[in-house]
Amino acid sequence: MKSSNFYHLLFCLLVVFSCSEKKQKIIKKDKETTILIQPFKDIETEKVNFIAKEIAKICPNVRILKPIDFPENTYYKPRNRYRADSIISYLDKKTKDGFVIIGLTSKDISVTKGEIKDFGVMGLGFRPGKACVASNFRLDKKNSDEQFFKVSIHELGHTQGLKHCMVRMCFMRDAEGKNPTNEETDFCEKCKNILISKNWKFN
């Protein structure tokens, strides 16, 4: 009889432990990502609105902030450029946990790449992190808005931990110093599933 009571008690404890574990898993689940769009004063409002609209199709929680000036320490006078690494460091410091911020600009931006001290880029993002930046300076004029969105979503993908992707049609494809955005059509299934696991809502 005592043995029966002991096993009954043990069973009850296991059920309670199992339930508490499930609750912990629910609590640890990632919250929906809120994306803050930070325009710099040089970028046209129409372009900012277009990017926000397109991003919202993939991640609905989008908020546009008031345009700001570039911080003084981001300007690289020798080549009349703005340092992308300094920009995202600045944006990261002003962004609270639970948010991801992307700076948008029409200015030329650059970063140190290997032995090249000042390498021009279309965008840059922490991986993973809270901040990234995208520029339309190096994009084709014919369909620059669409290309600008693809650069933006690429950098946002980095903030979610995505690496460069080998799939040529994927938004996370490595540009390799060129502009392959016209060949990109969507996130590949692997990249998309990672974003879905982080509560991105694909409409």
Average pLDDT, the chain: 88
**Does residue 191 or residue 32 have the better pLDDT?**
191
pLDDT of residue 37 exceeding 60, the answer is: yes
Q: For the structural domain made of 30-197, what CATH number should be given?
A: 3.40.390.10
End-to-end C-alpha distance for the chain, whole angstroms: 59
- What is the percent of the chain where pLDDT is above 90? 78
Q: What predicted TM-score, i.e. pTM, was given to this entire model?
A: 0.84
Domain ranges of the chain: 30-197
Residue 51 contacts residue 152 (beta carbons within 8 Å): yes
Q: pLDDT, tens digit, for every residue of 58-89?
A: 999 999 999 999 999 999 999 999 999 999 99
